[in-house]
Each structure stands twice: as C-alpha cells, then as structure tokens.
Amino acid sequence: MQWLRPRAPLASVSGVRFYSTPRLTALSVAATMPSKTPTLFDSPKASHGRKFLRLRPGLVAVKRGMVPFFDEQGVRHSCTVLEVDRVQVTDVKTKAKHGYYAVQLGIGARKFSNVTRPMLGHFARAQVAPKSYVTEFRVRDRRGLLPLGTLLSADHFKIGQFVDLKSKTKGKGTQGVMRRWNFGGLRASHGTSKKHRSAGSTGMNQDPGRTLPHKKMAGRMGNRNNTIFNSQIMDVDAEKGIVLVKGHVSGPDGAYVKILDALKKPLPKDIYDAVDQAARAPEQSA
C-alpha cells in the first residue's frame, strides 16, 4: 500500500493559515525518486573514512611568528609562518604488526650526547640523524605509508589547499574562574568582602551532598591540545622550508605544529591521484 496523499491547499481558521497533515511517501516510491547529482568520493563508506583518518601523512613544523601577506588582488592577510626543518620518516607501523597504519616523522636535529641509547638505536634503524621532536600520523591504509628515511619538504602541500593545524595552546598557569571560564564574579559593592572574583557556591543540597565532578573551578589554564580546522595555505617555499597559512595558529613561537590535510574539505585531485599512483607502483613492478 502506497501512503500517498496530495498536499491540501492552505486553509484559514480564525485568521491562522496552516497546512494539513504532512505528506507521507512509501519506501518503495522513495527508492525510485531521483537523487542529487553524485559527487567525487561521495559514499557513506568514503564519508566515514574521511571523518577519522587521512589518506596520507602530514607534516610537522615549527611556528615562527606572524607576518602580513598580500594576495594577487592586493588584499592583506595575517598569516603564520611555519618552518619545515629536515622532516624525515623515522618509523612505519602496519596493521599486521601494530594493529593500525601510521607514519612516524621527526623534525630538526639533536646532539648525539642528548639522545638516549634506545632512541639512538631507533634512529639508526631508520638511517636518519637524531631528531629534536618525533610525532606520529595515522593513515587510512597502506597507500599512505612511506619508506624509512624519506625526506618531506614544504611542497608536500599545495597553495590554496585547506589544512588542519594541531598544536598546544599557550600555558597560562593557575587562573581564577573569571579568566578561565569567563565567570561574571560576585557583586562589586554592597557588602561583598574580598570575594569579588570568586566562583561563589560550588556545593549541593543534602542530596547528593557533594560537589559533582567536572565542576568549573580555578586551576591550570592552557597548555592543551587544540585543532584549527580549514586553514588555507597562502604560500609555499620548498627551498627555504616555509609554509604560510592564513590566520593564527595555537601556541607560542617555537611550538611544534602538525599540518594535516583538512578533514572537512575535499583533498585536491592531483594529490589523491599521486598517492594512488605511488601505491600502485610496487604492484605493477611485481
């Protein structure tokens, strides 16, 4: 039985205009209704994969500050300078051995005397010099894996591409509730004594008779992981190892920043084809 009912005309009761019962469509009819125009990589499986894992690893860079940048139309943008300094692959993790796919990247350089013996052996297996900072990038499948020792430069990303930036915010130390949680504070006069910036009562009644967990109180502020989504790359200089991103980046100057392909934006088709072609090269040679 098809639950089809034509939409009734507008009626007027006491000056109020309304529609009648909403139209219901049978499932058999809904399956044959024309859908929207299909787009590239538009499927539930592809959408689910994009929400969590990238197709390829990103880059790790060092925040160097902010500078003005003028585009081709002469519009001024405030941009952040990120330095990509000798980024190399130091380890590769596979699903068969570790349970997931990931690429470990190292940046910079460190003296041998300041590196522990286990880490010296770790870098020696990858045939790279000791790195000042090491981090891991999870990838979707084997296509995102790179050989050990691979050197990644700033042209890993394209101008105009959207990226996600992960870093730690500036540490502010112990702060009160007015600065940490934007509380309004108590009254400024009329009997309030030395409690102007306090949180007020944090207790409960006899039931439950305690302060519940996760209550907003004074405490340590900042120095937490933060992600900025959909930042646009304005310029790339592979020779100098510079990536210029639009807007601000969390953290102080000198902080390490992870640059990843944007999850909420489609990956440029040339990058997708390059990753797919690199993954098929070993299969074709075999």
Short-list 233, 228, 229, 236, CA closest to 263:
229
Distance from C-alpha of 286 to C-alpha of 273, rounded to nearest angstrom = 20
Distance from C-alpha of 104 to C-alpha of 142, rounded to nearest angstrom = 14
Distances (CA, A) of 177 to 186, 222, 225: 11, 13, 20
pTM attached to this predicted model: 0.76
Give the pLDDT score at 285: 43
Q: Phi and psi for 178 in degrees, rounded to 5? A: -70, -35
Residues 6+ apart with CB under 8 A from 121: none
For domain 44-172+223-280, is the CATH number 2.40.30.10? Answer: yes
Short-list 166, 171, 140, CA closest to 256:
166
Dihedral of the alpha carbons of 104, 277, 159, 242, in degrees to the nearest 10: 40
Of 41-55, 177-191, 227-241, the poorest mean pLDDT is in: 41-55
Q: Given a cut of 80, is residue 30 above it in pLDDT?
A: no
